[in-house]
A and B are shown apart, each in its own frame.
Chain A
Amino acid sequence: MRDSTVAIDISARSAYAERLKRAWYRFSRSKLSLLGLLMVASIIFIAIFAPVVTPYPEHAGAFVDFGNTMHPPSLEHPFGTDAMGRDILTRCFFAFRGALIMGIVVLAIVVPIGTAVGLFGGYFEGKWFSTIVMRVTDVFLAIPPLVLALAIAALLKPTLTNSMIAVCISWWPWYARLVYGMTVSVRNEPFVKAVELTGMNRFKIMFSEILPNHLGPILTKMTLDMGWVILTGASLSFVGLGEQPPTPALGTMVSDGAKYLPTYWWISVFPALMIVIIILSFNLLGDGIREMLTSGE
């Protein structure tokens, strides 16, 4: 792990290319990781090009057709239609957008905050302000994240933005804890002590010397978390706290369809399957990345 500070090669660029190549080799050894990558890529592709790849893009908006309700899966409607006569496949694919936005935005906010808190707390471990910061983190960790997110989302207006805020508030402590642990364990390593002797600014030490060592585990956790964040978002919308209609959300679709079980099973089963597929994809990819980062040592 320490080679990032030592490897100041003359041909840094080719070394970098070489490492990338090796990493890809390690990653691609596993068929499952490749499958995960492929699936994640397809999900992103479908989300971006939803209006083009779905058969009835207008069904994702303000649309009702009471003449075509509750059709079972057929060639015309592969996932069937719902109680408003809308194509479920179309709505599932459009729902990928909200799901991905949820995952990306939440992680983009949570990872820097959590990492900064963890680094700070870990590097200054033992000092009073570090203690306070980490105790606050512990308080957040003492409530299961979904429960906290539900409570916060319920108190706010039900929108996608507010559900993202709720998930962010319940998610950052996990990164803080991860980075804190890792920082504490490298804080007294010789390479850190060495830089400290040069009189380098402490914040610079934290971010340019200690942080790079954590990037691997953070990246792995991020990839794995994509799926879990999306699931938390889906859980909120399952309860009715999230994206509001007509914008499709997978959780909402599952809970709406549950009313019509068992006769009209397709209304909730296909969106549920989509949630599973999203989580599965990011998990496979995450496992692949972990494999790639650890097996090289």
Chain B
Amino acid sequence: MSLTKYIIKRIVYSIGVLFGVSILIFVISNIVPGDPARMALGPRAPEWAVEDLRKEMNLDKPLVERYFLWLSDLMRGDLGESLRSRRPITKDIAEYLPASIEIIALSAFFMAVIGINLGRLSARFSGTWFDGVVRILSYTGIVTPAFVWAILFVLLFSYLIPIFPTTGRITPGLAAPPRITGMYIIDGLLTGNFRVALNAFWHIVLPSLALSMGGAAQAARMTRASMVDNAEKDYILAVRAYGVPNKLIYRRLLLKPSLVAPISIMALDIAALLGNAFLVELVFLYPGISRYGVEAMLNKDLFAIISVVLIIGIGYTIANVVIDVIIAHLDPRVRLGGAKSA
């Protein structure tokens, strides 16, 4: 199977799965009791207005019909209206999603850079004190939940040594940059508001770090293990016998083949990252999609819950496809062996 064919197959399959996800979350959230129309208009609204809204929201129709009506709205880019913000959910998402993308992108960066570099160095200096420290650190990183990191970081770097802000997206009083992508850092850079861009970056350092700790630790451990494994392979021993410097061997020859293992567990790390973002954004009161999701969940804001879960599902699925493709690229056996995602 060629790589392109593999990618297409993988994408088609993922779309099918996402339809399943939409059914799952729609059904789960629609079987709980409650009257969203009444909740939307408030307790003192006249009954006829509530009745009209109920009709508008299709609440008077059977579940299956409601699902398809919702789906056709979705296809037209309409996710319904949030009960809490009282405006279209697409608008809410347009506002909160970019904020989360910033955090998640930076955590992924931290995860890869810190994880792989630590693992690489730890493998190169394996057996030394440095290796020992990294191993202990990575075990600690794995067993400490992200929200605990978040609280520790706030305590250490916002209070004890106050270099980072405790909460929020930018310093209150500072105006957000003109909207282009919705991501303050990028918008700030594009429009020349460097101060805002830096300020926004400064706000996401701790949350991203807290989110990335687990994945970075995992990546360090995997990278180290597979590098140490590969270092004993014949071709490396041969190269070494030619007197090629150790540093070069580790950086040029060993790194790439040793990345398959850490990348293949990345899918799990990303799942954890997306989930943990719900708690970490809460700790930092960061106005991202996860915090919006938590608020929606706690307030039983049905359509907002459905939308957030669906978006997370889409993001996660895309991440999975990308990872699978990278692995298929690095390791052709995967696509030849008739890959199965299950």
| Chain A residues within CB distance 8 Å of chain B | 121, 134-148, 150-152, 154-156, 177, 180-181, 227, 231, 234-235, 238-241, 254-255, 258, 261-262, 265, 268-269, 272, 275-276, 279-280, 283
- The answer, among B17, B139, B143, B274, for a CB contact under 8 Å with A227, is B143
Encode contact with A along B270-295: 1 for CB under 8 Å, 0 otherwise. 11101110110011000000000110
19 CB contacts below 8 A, A to B, read A138-B17, A139-B20, A142-B18, A142-B317, A144-B312, A146-B275, A147-B309, A148-B309, A150-B275, A150-B297, A235-B147, A235-B279, A238-B282, A239-B278, A239-B298, A258-B151, A261-B154, A283-B142, A283-B143
Closest chain-B Cβ to A43's Cβ sits at a distance in Å of 14
Tell me the residues in window 19-34 of chain B with beta carbons closer than 8 Å to chain A beta carbons: 20-21, 23-25, 28-29, 32
The 8 Å CB contact of B298, one of A145, A240, A261, is A240
User: Cβ of B181 < 8 Å from any Cβ of A?
Assistant: no
A121 CB contacts on chain B under 8 angstroms:
342
B316 within 8 A of A: yes
Known: A135-B16, A138-B17, A261-B151. Contact between A147 and B312, CB under 8 A? yes
Which of chain B's residues has its CB closest to A118's CB? Answer: B342
Q: Are A177 and B342 in contact (CB under 8 A)?
A: yes
Query: Nearest chain A CB to B268's CB is how many angstroms away?
Result: 9
In the complex, which residues of chain B have a beta carbon less than 8 angstroms from the beta carbon of A154? 297-298, 300, 305
Instruction: Summarize A's interface: helix, strand, loop or mixed.
Output: helix
Q: Is the CB of A151 within 8 A of B29?
A: yes
| Contact among A136, A151, A241 for B305, CB-based, below 8 A | A151
Q: Which residues of A contact B270 (CB under 8 A)?
A: 144
CB distance from A28 to the nearest CB of B (A): 20
B75 at the A interface (CB under 8 A): no
B137 beta carbon closer than 8 Å to chain A: no
The main secondary structure of chain B at its interface with chain A is helix
B297-321: contact bitstring with A at CB < 8 Å (1 yes, 0 no)?
1101000010001001100110000
Contact between A234 and B271, CB atoms less than 8 A apart: no
Partner of B20, one of A136, A146, A240, A268: A136
Q: Is the CB of A235 within 8 A of B297?
A: no
B63 touches A (CB below 8 Å): no
Interface membership of B241, Cβ < 8 A: no
- A134 adjacent to B342 (CB under 8 Å): yes
A contact residues around B139 at 8 Å (CB) = 280, 283
List of A residues within 8 angstroms of B142 by Cβ: 283
| Residue from A134, A254, A279 within 8 A of B147 (CB atoms) | A254
Q: Give the contacting residue for B151; candidates A142, A146, A268; CB below 8 A.
A: A268
Pick from A135, A150, A255, A272: contact of B17, CB below 8 A. A135
Would you call A238 and B279 a contact (CB within 8 A)? yes
Extra A-B contacts (9), CB below 8 Å, given A150-B297, A156-B32, A275-B148: A143-B25, A143-B309, A147-B293, A155-B297, A235-B147, A238-B279, A239-B298, A261-B159, A268-B151
